[in-house]
Chain A
Amino acid sequence: MDSQLYLKEIKLFHFKNYGKASFEFIDGVNIITGLNGVGKTNLLDAIYILGLTKSYFMASDRFLVQHEKKFYRIEGNWIKNSKKLKVAIKYDVIDGKEIDVNGKTGIKPMEHIGQIPIVLISPNDLELVSGLNEIRRRFMDITISQIDPNYLENLVTYIKVQKLRNALLTKSIFFDQLPIDLLESYEIRLVKSGEYIYKSRLWFLQIFQPKFIAFYNEISGGLEDVSLRYTSDLEDEDYFELLKNHRGKDFEKGRTVYGIHRDKMALYIKGQPLQQEASQGQLKSFVLALKLAQYSILQDECKFNPILLLDDIFDKIDASRVGHILSMLSKDDFGQIFISDTHVNRVALLLEELKLNVNFKEMKIENSFENIQIDPLN
């Protein structure tokens, strides 16, 4: 890969446990060590926010603001294609979020997402295979959004128009009082965005599936019959007809029943649904294979090595597997990697043992308060 992307420096203000802190990183493997609770995960999450504009762990930004403070700010100084890329994300409890890129303010999330492709692997990811369908749908959305900005735009439109249509359905008392012309205006827009999303997800599964199977077999060291199956309401019926024919049902329920908002990405092993059949080990391999395939598809489509964030990876995965992951990723050349670990020196030793051709830097977070750098002017 001849084009490179890496984070040189990050500055945090009032973010979680960090009052004011800055960290410098290398274009290689950055190992962040420290005891539980010093803020290693928060640091990785801050890097994630610089790329995706949203936290990996928290649904609401409010919970990311340091206790008793009114805003947080994250600044990242990146190098992309040998050029400086400065990204600042600010969230204020009253004014909301603001994204600045290279000094330009008011950047929309869909203009920025995809500029810094990121994959995060965390011990909580088991949800991805054992949790609700919604989680796997979000996985598809986050991946495709980083590849295609139009996808995110259509997704936002779809959600909004669906809300408008649902509101219209609930506002009328009798079915025959529904303003059909207006309902149809919403449906036509829903169909346009819905079809775009459906086609994008189909395309995604097509190129994602072989990558996923290859990674799964490499991790598990065997040839198991694993697969992903994407199903959608849109697959055998015209979406507009579907909406039109179920207006009565939708009116009774007060919401739009059919659509891409209930698409499924189901996981199978030996032809059986994964949740019923798999062992804990197989579930873990599934998660890892999904994440590595995500890394690989972003690498191919974004033409950059994505940033890889490995949060507390030894917590759920043994050292030999971690070594395996690192070796696999290093087949091609490495992108920038961040690894957090509770043990000092463990990852460094592993890297040396594996004799991987990669630069690494270990930094230890002792106590988040010690990272507060007092501004000399104050």
Chain B
Amino acid sequence: MKFSSKLVEEAVEAMSSLPSIGKKTALRLIIHLIQSDSEKSERIATALTMLKSGIKECANCHNISDNEICEICSDPRRNANQICVVETIRDIMAIEATEHYQGHYHVLGGVINPIEGIGVEHLKIQSLINRVNQIQNPELIMALSPTIEGDTTVYFISKQLQNPSIQISTIARGVSFGGELEYADELTLGRSIISRVPYHTQKY
């Protein structure tokens, strides 16, 4: 692609570095911005700068947050004894969209996979254990992907938790469940989060 302007070229390059935005789409967006009021571009630029400098990771659950502790963790109406363990923040968004869950979350950052070089130390497993140890009657809901890596991670975590009063369940994985959590439609996920099955390490 040839441009008559270095400024346009740089803007297109920057825009197209985003996932699923090609050069053509980027150019279309840039031309749109050139033809719009300068307020529009300024608003986007400011929002992006603020986002990167202001965004934090919740010290409790590792969700994205504006403050030290995220809105979910600081909401007094939510049940702090109940922790839904997920892989990514996108899983939280999918579950929140169902409006069927009133507990807290814990973002692991993935599942254990030595083939990909993801060890226990790369995930927020120790912080989950610390969290659970501070709760009186903890209830864990494991919402990890229904893969062998997901299964072995659930087993590993449950073996690390020594608290005898802990209740562990996994979300029900129906046939219609599309594999990874973020692809599950809201209805399926909502149903899964309600119909949980108790987890027993003997069944592993």
- Is A257 in contact with chain B by the CB < 8 A criterion? no
Q: Are B155 and A167 in contact (CB under 8 A)?
A: no
Question: In whole angstroms, what is the CA distance A163 to B148 when docked?
Answer: 11
Known: A179-B119, A182-B120, A186-B152. A164 touches B159 (CB 8 A): no
Binary interface encoding of chain B residues 140-158 relative to chain A, with 1 for a CB under 8 A from any of its CBs, else 0: 0000000011011001100
User: In the complex, which range does the number of interface residues on chain A fall in?
Assistant: 10 to 19
A181 sits at the interface (CB 8 A): yes
Residues of A within 8 A of B149 (CB): 164
User: Nearest 8 CB-CB pairs, A to B?
Assistant: A167-B114, A168-B114, A167-B115, A185-B156, A160-B148, A185-B155, A185-B152, A171-B114
Interface pair A161/B148, CB less than 8 Å apart:
yes
Chain A 170-201, CB-CB to B under 8 Å as 1, else 0, gives: 01000000010110011011001000000000
Cα–Cα distance between A167 and B118 once the two chains are bound (Å): 11
From A161, A181, A186, A189, give the contact of B160 (CB < 8 A): A181
Q: How far is the CA of A182 from the CA of B155 in the complex (A)?
A: 9
Measured between beta carbons, the chain B residues less than 8 angstroms from A163 are: 115
Does A130 count as interface, using CB distance less than 8 angstroms? no
Q: Which of B117, B151, B152, B155 contacts A171 (CB 8 A)?
A: B117
- B contact face: mostly helix, strand, loop, or mixed: helix
- Considering only residues 99-120 of chain A, those with a C-beta below 8 Å from chain B are none
Q: A164, B155: Cβ atoms under 8 Å? A: no
User: 9 A–B contact pairs at CB < 8 A?
Assistant: A164-B115, A164-B148, A171-B119, A182-B112, A182-B120, A185-B159, A188-B155, A189-B152, A189-B204
Could you tell me if B204 and A192 are in contact, using CB atoms closer than 8 angstroms? yes
Known: A171-B119, A185-B156, A188-B204. 10 other contacts (CB 8 A): A163-B115, A164-B115, A164-B152, A167-B114, A168-B114, A182-B119, A182-B120, A185-B155, A188-B155, A189-B148
Q: Which of B122-173 contact A (CB under 8 A)?
A: 148-149, 151-152, 155-156, 159-160
Min CB–CB distance B126 → chain A (angstroms): 12
CA distance A371 to B112 in the complex (A): 51
> Which partner residue on chain A sits nearest B149 by CB separation?
A164
Q: In the complex, which residues of chain B have a beta carbon less than 8 angstroms from the beta carbon of A189? A: 148, 151-152, 155, 204
Kindly provide the distance from the CB of B132 to the nearest chain A CB, expressed in whole angstroms. 16
Give the chain A neighbours of B204 by CB distance below 8 A.
188-189, 192
Question: Number of B interface residues, CB 8 Å?
Answer: 16
List B contacts of A182 (CB < 8 A). Answer: 112, 119-120, 156
- For A327, the chain B residues whose CB sits under 8 A away are none
Closest residue of chain A to B152, judged by CB?
A: A185
A157 interface residue, CB < 8 Å from B? yes
Distance in Å: Cβ of B185 to nearest Cβ of chain A: 15
Q: Which of B113, B120, B155 sits near A179, CB closer than 8 Å? A: B120
Contact present for B152 and A181 (CB under 8 Å): no
Bound Cα distance A168, B204 (Å): 20
Contacts of B114 in A (CB 8 A): 164, 167-168, 171
Select from chain B the residue with minimum beta-carbon distance to A168.
B114
* Chain A residues within 8 Å of B115, by CB: 163-164, 167
Please report which residues of chain A, range 115-137, place their CB below 8 angstroms from some CB of chain B when the two chains form the complex: none
Contacts of B148 in A (CB 8 A): 157, 160-161, 164, 189
Residues in A347-377 with C-beta less than 8 Å from chain B: none
Write out the residue numbers on chain B whose beta carbons fall within 8 Å of the beta carbon of A171. Answer: 114, 117, 119
Chain B neighbourhood of A161, CB < 8 A: 148, 152
User: Which chain B residues lie closer than 8 Å to A181 at the CB level?
Assistant: 156, 159-160
Kindly state the separation between the CA atoms of A160 and B114 in the bound complex, as whole angstroms: 12
Please give the distance in Å from A176's CB to the nearest CB on chain B. Answer: 16
Please report the C-alpha to C-alpha distance between residue A364 and residue B158 in the assembled complex, in whole angstroms: 63
Smallest CB–CB gap between B162 and chain A, Å?
12
**A161 to B148, alpha carbons, bound, how many Å?**
7
Q: Chain B: which residue is nearest A167 at the CB level?
A: B114
A151-168 vs B, Cβ < 8 Å mask (1 yes, 0 no): 000000100110110011
Q: Does A164 lie within 8 Å of B120, measured CB to CB? A: no
**Residues on the A chain within 8 Å of B112, using CB:** 182
Contacts of A185 in B (CB 8 A): 152, 155-156, 159
